[in-house]
């Protein structure tokens, strides 16, 4: 188990140099990352964003289909996870009232995993987020 995790880590790290959409080749890696990400999602995110990522109307934005979640601004996504969100902002044409939790205690790996889970679950499909990308993003977040 540890061996596979290590192997996965290597591949995820190496893929940091190529930010590509999910291909057949990267399926096993993203599967492993998503599986770990799902556990974090159920503990930290599910209460508000729901099991199917549909959110709570006008309270908690949906993740399924959300342009930011599927988008390429990974720095923004890492920032939202680490710092939470308390501003009144329009998200895909709607406003949401609840504050989002800050999660500064999540490791770079955990953040990459949960991002890979939400970016490739339900109707979402997006490129892999690597640990290196999270690490680099974290240095830019104050």
Partner 1 sequence: MFSFVFSSQIQHHMKKMFLIFLLTSISFVSNANDSIKVNITNQVVANADNAGLILPSGFGALIAADNLGRARHIVATKQGGIYVKLERLVGGKGIIYLTDANKDGKMEVETSFGNYIGTGIAIKDNYLYASSNEDVFRYQLNENGKVTNPDNPQRIVKGLWDKRQHASKSIVLDNAGNIYVNIGAPSNSCQEVDRTKGSKGMYPCPILDSAGGIWQFKVDQTDQGYHNGVRYATGLRNVVGLDWNQQQNKLYVTMHGRDMLYTLYPNLFDTTVSAELPSETMYEINKGDDAGWPYVYYDHFQKKKVLSPEYGGDGKKAGGEKAIDPIVAFPAHMAPNALLFYTGDQFPAKYKNGAFVAFHGSWNRSPLPQEGYYVVFIPFENGKPSGQWEVFANGFSGTEVVKNPRDAKHRPCGLTEGPDGSLYVSDDVKGTIYRIVYNAK
Helix, strand, coil abundance in the chain, percent, nearest 5: 50, 5, 40
Site for partner 1 in 23-42 (CB under 8 A): 42
Give whole-number Cα distances, 108 to 37, 103, 112, in Å.
12, 11, 6
Tell me which stretch binds partner 1 (CB under 8 A): 44-52, 72-80, 108-116, 124-132: 44-52
- In 2-114, DSSP assigns E strands to 90-91, 94-95
CA atoms of 67 and 8, how far apart (whole Å): 28
By CB under 8 A, residue 46 contacts partner 1: yes
By CB under 8 A, residue 102 contacts partner 1: yes
By CB under 8 A, residue 62 contacts partner 1: yes
By CB under 8 A, residue 71 contacts partner 1: no
Kindly tell me which of 73 and 94 has the beta carbon lying closer to partner 1. Answer: 94
CB of 35 to partner 1, least distance (A): 17
55: helix, strand or coil? coil
Choice from 22, 54, 79, 122 touching partner 1 (CB under 8 A) = 54
- State the sign of the Cα–Cα–Cα–Cα dihedral 132, 119, 104, 3: negative
Instruction: List contacts with partner 1 (CB under 8 A).
Output: 42-44, 46-48, 50-52, 54-60, 62, 84, 86, 88, 97-103, 105
């Amino acid at each position: 188990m540890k061996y596979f995790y290590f192997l996965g880590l290597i591949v995820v790290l190496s893929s940091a140099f190529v930010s590509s959409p999910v291909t057949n080749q990267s399926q096993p890696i993203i599967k492993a990352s998503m599986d770990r990400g799902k556990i974090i999602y159920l503990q930290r995110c599910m209460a508000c964003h729901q099991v199917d990522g549909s959110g709570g109307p006008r309270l908690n934005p949906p993740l399924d289909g959300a342009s930011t979640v599927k988008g390429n601004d990974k720095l923004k996504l890492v920032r939202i996870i680490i710092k939470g969100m308390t501003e009144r902002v329009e998200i895909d044409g709607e406003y949401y009232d609840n504050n989002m939790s800050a999660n500064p205690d999540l490791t770079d790996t955990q953040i990459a995993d949960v991002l890979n889970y939400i970016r490739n679950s339900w109707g979402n499909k997006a490129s892999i987020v690597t640990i290196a990308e999270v690490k680099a993003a974290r240095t830019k977040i104050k």
